[in-house]
Amino acid sequence: MKVLVTGGLGFIGSNLTIHLCHQGHQVSVLDNLDSRMGGNWANLEEVMSKVHMNVQDLLDFGQVSAAVLGQDMIINCAASTSHPSSMREPWLDMDVNVKGTLNLLEAIRRFNPLARLIHLGTSTQLGPLKYSPADEQHPEFPTDIYSANKSTSEKYVLIYSNAYQLKASVVRLANVYGPRAAIHSPEFTFNNYFIGLALQDKKITIFGDGAQKRNLLFIDDVVDAILAVANCEKTIGETYFAVGDDHLAVFEISKKIVDVFGTGRCKTIPWPKDRKSAEIGDAILSNQKLKKDVAWSPKTTFEEGLKITQEFYLSRLNQYI
């Protein structure tokens, strides 16, 4: 197939791109390489000769329209993913996560309406849970701009699927970890930043007591989940949580990283005021709908995933720190 991966130089997009290339598909990548979004040329080193690269922006409707032409499948991984940054720069976050998605949807509707579309959402759209485990029917009361904008963009995808019969699905993710993540900054997912700190033998700082539970999923299992949804007609017009089976406390996560890597150390500190307001407590999520509809299940334990992640970064740390 011809596949377009937006945000293909980022963490999830690059892993998808490499997997698709190894399967023999013709892959195009659209990425604006904004340093605030986590893209990295090093992510696609092994397949760069096989990929058609477009250094463009989702906000340029003409470029997006040209990129979607002739594609059999489009996987939208492009996003501004930082929760703190979204509160500092709400207009930037809205532009990328809402307007960018709308540009992509309009381009597909006008110029390639038969293409298959997978859009990535986030578990943080839900906000504090009203019940747990939370499923896809859980109400959404996000506590930060990023999560609100991802919720909005997901609704646009579902509207276009219903109103214009676009073959679109949404896959919501939680805390994905593994090779090719942006591990250099706390602006990205906490778990990958913790990994970066441990790899440098630095202190991992946990806000509060770290008792709040989170869901983790290794990147290879994420790729499998996305492609399982993409290759099943039953999933069109549907939203899915692609999350792991287990939920671990944040402090437990940090301690496991330190134990497996043999480097780093953990310390708890009081919550910073600007971060406490966005904290949602335990995030217990259900993956039962995805398991039922596409027979997917996570295969990688947290310890196994950490060992693979450590091995990847040890010889490439200068490209990611």
Angle at 314 between CA 82 and CA 48, to 5 degrees: 70
Enumerate the β-bridge partners of residue 172. Answer: 121, 241
Closest CA to 230 of 20, 7, 9, 11: 20
Residue 98: DSSP 8-state: I
* Residue 74, phi then psi, degrees to nearest 5: -130, 125
* Residue 52, phi then psi, degrees to nearest 5: -85, 110
Enumerate the β-bridge partners of residue 290. Answer: none
Angle at 300 between CA 194 and CA 138, to 5 degrees: 75
Residue 144: DSSP 8-state: S
Task: List all residues 6 or more positions away from 217 whose beta carbon is below 8 Å from its beta carbon.
Answer: 173, 174, 175, 176, 177, 242, 243, 244, 298
Enumerate the β-bridge partners of residue 217. Answer: 176
146 is an active site residue: yes
- Alpha carbons 1 and 24: distance in angstroms, whole number: 8
User: What is the pairing mode between strands 26-30 and 52-54?
Assistant: parallel
Residue for token digits 């040329």? 41
> Which of 131, 146, 177, 193 is labelled catalytic?
146
Number of CB atoms found within 10 A of residue 130's CB: 10
Helices (H) and strands (E) in the chain, counts: 13, 12
DSSP characters for 67-96? Answer: HHTT-SEEEE------HHHHHH-HHHHHII
- Residues in the chain, total: 321
Catalytic residue set? 146
